[in-house]
Amino acid sequence: MKPVRGVPGIDFGIREVRGDFPEELEISPLGRPVDAEVRVPGSKSVTNRALLVAALADGVSVVRNPLFSDDPYYLLDALVRLGFDVGADREAGEVRVGGLGGEIPRGGVEVFVGNAGTVARFLPPALALGPGPYTVDGVPRMRERPIRDLVDALRRLGAAVDYAEDEGRFPLVVRGGGLEGGATPVQGAGSSQFVSGLLMAAPYARRTVNLDVQGREKWPYVGITVEVMRRFGVEVGVSEDLRSLAVEPGVYRARAFEVEPDASAASYFMALAAVTGGRVRVPGLGSRSSQGDLRFAEVLETMGCEVEIEADAVEVRGTERLRGVEVDMNAFSDTMMTLAAIAPFASTPTTITNVGHARHQETDRISAVAAELGRLGVAVEERPDGLKILPGPLRPAVVETYGDHRVAMAFAVAGLASPDPVVTIRDPGCVTKTFPGYFGALESLR
Ligand SMILES: O=C(O)C1=C[C@@H](OP(=O)(O)O)[C@@H](O)[C@H](O)C1
Ligand SMILES: C=C(OP(=O)(O)O)C(=O)O
């Protein structure tokens, strides 16, 4: 057993949930249809928005059912380094954040964001509000992930941001001194997180912020941002075509905030129901959810499953034989690899389109899926912005995960669904990014 990657700084009890992982984990087939109610952890996207907005609000907020994993950890660690009063109680499942009404207490701080896109893209706009300077850096992969379009937009809104090393890449130096505001285009093709980050800091700009967002057709993650901001008392003006977003100067109101379960994490269990012809019910995640990744359930419906999305739960019942599907997953690409992992079990090919941005996430996910399905003996066509996956049996292989939690989680589903033991996951500990208890949750289904 080797201890999983350590993160320096304050612990928040997260090291405990991280636990120890083996270097490789063989996935034994489930051997029968799954039939379970599965509680998944709080949404990463909602947690990191709620924590940041709470820090910018005008008093003490309590965030309940937050995700305790690496990505929120990096945000909490940054907030503490910046001088915010933060207390986490993992047993009670809550984090208390002392907000300071848009003030950042300390300047001269180095923050480290790991490989957390939400932290890397949400923090710099907020840091622009503080006295500065701040350096923001991450793991080597984060230095390759897109950031330039956020920096360009921030500069147009009057923030002083520099590249500490290579132009267009992390690490950044945010000089601070406030955000002027005004109107700017924002290119979100590389990541919609640029738009979300700008929106959350926007109430504290000196003037109204108007964002003209470009590069994607749909913006479900921006919808989550707008919803969290609204619940903390700040409205975002949204044009009918969702292309223009306006935030007037204002203050977030501190509050108690409940985080809903993570829809992307739920996708693995829904997929397992689909591929084993079983049943999975996920409580707490339903039609009231703001998470676009719930659309994964609709894809399973198209593949032949019975899906019920109730007000406060989602249930998927599998079918005798899944049909392949052709689907544009641009708006919910975190579930792309979940679909890819069950696609070989379908009766017809599956085609995933419009997910080119997934090449710039934790790893190049299009290449990773093609390589690892290929290793398992599946015929895959890799395309610039998607994949075509042909049905076929899996042969034994050790799956490389490239440090990407979703590669590990998705391919484990394929291993559980296969009739014979075929999938071994290398570096399963990478799941600590968003779901430290994932393999334990799978074991509880046996
Ligand atoms: O705003 C968010 O919470 C997220 C946005 C998405 O990223 P991109 O917009 O970079 O695709 C998603 O992949 C990520 O896991 C979470
Ligand atoms: C793309 C992801 O994460 P990040 O927030 O680092 O972009 C993800 O969780 O699938």
Q: What is the ipTM of this complex?
A: 0.99
Average predicted confidence (pLDDT) for the chain: 95
418 is in an annotated binding site: no
pTM above 0.95, yes or no: yes
* Residue bearing the CA closest to ligand 2, atom 6: 117
117 is in an annotated binding site: yes
Each residue's pLDDT tens digit, 188-210: 999 999 999 999 999 999 999 99
Each residue's pLDDT tens digit, 388-426: 999 999 999 999 999 999 999 999 999 999 999 999 999
How close is the Cα of 298 to the center of ligand 1, in Å? 20
The strand order across the sheet containing 134-137 reads 109-112, 134-137, 172-174, 161-163
Q: Pairing relation of β-strands 313-317 and 172-174?
A: unpaired
User: Which listed residue (334, 385, 404, 427) is catalytic?
Assistant: 334
334 is an active site residue: yes
Are the CB atoms for 79 and 127 separated by under 8 Å? Answer: no
Q: Pairing relation of β-strands 306-309 and 386-389?
A: unpaired
Beta strands in 28-83 (DSSP E): 35-37, 60-64
Taking residue 222's Cβ as centre, other Cβ atoms within 10 Å add up to 24
Each residue's pLDDT tens digit, 151-181: 999 999 999 999 999 999 999 999 999 999 9
* Residue bearing the CA closest to ligand 2, atom 3: 117
pLDDT value, residue 20: 82
Q: Nearest ligand, CA of residue 406?
A: 2
How close is the Cα of 328 to the center of ligand 2, in Å? 19
Q: Is the CB of 191 under 6 A from ligand 1?
A: yes
279, containing H or E segment? strand 279-283
Q: Pairing relation of β-strands 209-214 and 182-187?
A: parallel
pLDDT value, residue 12: 57
Each residue's pLDDT tens digit, 358-386: 999 999 999 999 999 999 999 999 999 99
Each residue's pLDDT tens digit, 55-114: 999 999 999 999 999 999 999 999 999 999 999 888 899 999 999 999 999 999 999 999
Joined together, the tokens standing for residue 298 give 């609709």
Taking residue 66's Cβ as centre, other Cβ atoms within 10 Å add up to 28
pLDDT value, residue 15: 53
Cα–Cα distance measured from residue 21 to residue 12, given in angstroms and rounded to the nearest whole number: 20
What percent of the chain has pLDDT above 70? 96
CA distances from 408 to 16, 292, 296, 400, 430 (A): 20, 22, 18, 8, 7
145 is in an annotated binding site: yes
pLDDT value, residue 6: 36
Instruction: Please name each of the domains of the chain with its CATH number.
Output: 17-38+261-444 (3.65.10.10), 44-249 (3.65.10.10)
Each residue's pLDDT tens digit, 329-361: 999 999 999 999 999 999 999 999 999 999 999
